[in-house]
Amino acid sequence: MKKLFLIGAVASVALVGCSSGESTPDEVAITMTAEEVYNATVDGVGMTPMVMDADDSLVVDLYGVDLSLVTDYKVIMPAMTGQITEIAVFRVEDMEDVNTVAQNLTSRVQDLQNGGAFYPSHIEIVNEAQVVVHQNYVLMAVDEEVAQLVANFNSIFE
């Protein structure tokens, strides 16, 4: 009987310890909005002020993303042709659709690589663009700071 009580007491302490309110980064990432992931991704990165938020019609037209597949998203894109920065974060509703959204973003990068970038410096930036997936989040980063953006995005999930 003492052994059973001791096992129960240890199990209770273990359960209380797990429910302390602290989360692992994976748990935090699962509950973050796309805008929160975006903000963490661009944190510390010098962003051009010449960008705008993309609305639903631009997201559907330029990215080909079926918005019924996503919980939410944050997409910024150039507000004028002299800029190339394009950063998109999608939180996909169902894990089965993550690859579909990632493919849509890869297609967008290919469109930019095949004539969407006009200036030589923009062509270099577009050729370094990345699409990265973690859990049900998909990032597309087209920016001269792509390595830092991807590192920031990856760190959310570590």
Q: What is the pLDDT of residues 90-105, one digit of tens each?
A: 999 999 999 999 999 9
The pLDDT score that the predictor gives to residue 119 is 82
Q: Is 51 helix (H, G, I), strand (E, B) or coil?
A: strand
Average pLDDT over every residue of 128-132: 97
- Tokens found for residue 61: 């037209």
Q: Tokens at residue 153, please?
A: 């995005």
What's the whole-model pTM score? Answer: 0.80
**Residue 30's pLDDT is what?**
67
Q: What share of the chain is helix, strand, coil (3-state, %, to 5)?
A: 55, 20, 25
**Digit-coded pLDDT (tens) for 56-97:** 999 999 999 999 999 999 999 998 878 899 999 999 999 999
